[in-house]
Amino acid sequence: MALFLIVTFMAVGEMSFFPAHIFFELSDHLFSLWDWCWEEGYISVLESYDFVVNITLIGNRILFHVIGAVLLYFTMRKIVRVFRDDTDTSAVNWKPAGAEPEATSPQVQSRWNSALGQKSIIVPPELEEKMKNDPELAKKVMANVENFITTYAATSVRPGRVCSWLISLDENEEIEKYRVTGGGGNISGPTEEQQRQFEAEQVAKRKRREEYARLNEESALKHRLMEQEADERYYQTSITQKAVSIATYEAADGKFISPTTKQSTCRRLSQNMGLGLKMCVMWQRGILGA
């Protein structure tokens, strides 16, 4: 307690810095004013100048201490009022006499469940008298209350939640105040069937993505193989053309090549160089030149 009061006193003392800062600024302005009056000749006597300067210093100091003391007094008064000796602390230090019951005990659960789903309607005496004398009015008022409960439950209550209602009516048959409390229910979201459908759709999408990836990979591999085959065919054609040209030049030795010579050269190339018969026939017919 003593430590708390000391800390509070120090805090209030720090708060006095703000009015002190304001007073010091005011003093600077006043001193500037007195200097200006002295320079302009409005204060011609040195004793008068010293007098107003001293009054300014003394007045600011006195005012600073007075305001600080007032702040400290009212602050400490409020604090001491709370912690005074005659304060009744029984409510603060209250403790239950018996053992605390378990929240899962049948007695506690039964009391909680007894309040859930109940409807309490506060009817003012004037309206109650009217409803007793006019059954149609009573039916109308209850219909309005039931309509309010139905609308509120459909728009503002979590699905599956059990609510308790406290409704206060005014003299004009209107709902003046209401309070809704409840328990249980599920968090708003998809049902189990919707969740299963969503998971099945995600699995199907994943399978389709895997299938697309596999097809793209196969297509890319097939394209690479076709490019390799085209390169090999071009290479074989080039080699064949070169071999046929060399063999033709060696056989003819610069002379005219007769069909018989072409046939014999083609057979020799097929046997010795492993060239295909189709290439030899193309060369023999003049499609592949020397």
pLDDT in tens, 3-43: 555 555 555 555 554 555 555 555 555 556 556 565 656 55
- Residues 226, 244 within the same domain: yes
- The pTM score is 0.30
Distance CA 57, CA 50 (A): 11
- Inside any domain, residue 51: yes
Beta bridge partners of 169: 175
- Residues 138, 178 within the same domain: yes
- Residues 154, 208 within the same domain: no
Q: Which domain holds residue 243?
A: 193-284
Q: Work out the burial of residue 180: count CB atoms within 10 Å of its CB; fewer than 13 is exposed, 13-18 middle, 19 or more buried.
A: middle
**Helices 277-284 and 192-252, axial angle in degrees (round to 10):** 50
- Inside any domain, residue 106: no
Angle at CA of residue 188, ends 183 and 191, nearest 5°:
115
Domain end (from 129, 161, 183)? 183
Distance CA 65, CA 70 (A): 9
- Residues 209, 179 within the same domain: no
Q: What confidence score (pLDDT) does residue 163 get?
A: 82
User: What is the pLDDT averaged over residues 97-122?
Assistant: 75
Please list, in sequence order, all residues whose beta carbon lies within 8 angstroms of the beta carbon of residue 289, skipping any fewer than 6 positions away. Answer: 245
Beta bridge partners of 120: 166
Q: Are strands 175-183 and 162-169 parallel, antiparallel or unpaired?
A: antiparallel
Q: Domain count for the chain, please give it.
A: 3
- Residues 126, 71 within the same domain: no
Domain end (from 183, 211, 230)? 183
- Residues 260, 209 within the same domain: yes
Quick one: which of 195, 282, 194, 289 has its CA closest to 246?
289
Domain end (from 128, 154, 183)? 183
Which of 48-57, 205-214, 257-266, 274-283 has the weakest average pLDDT? 274-283
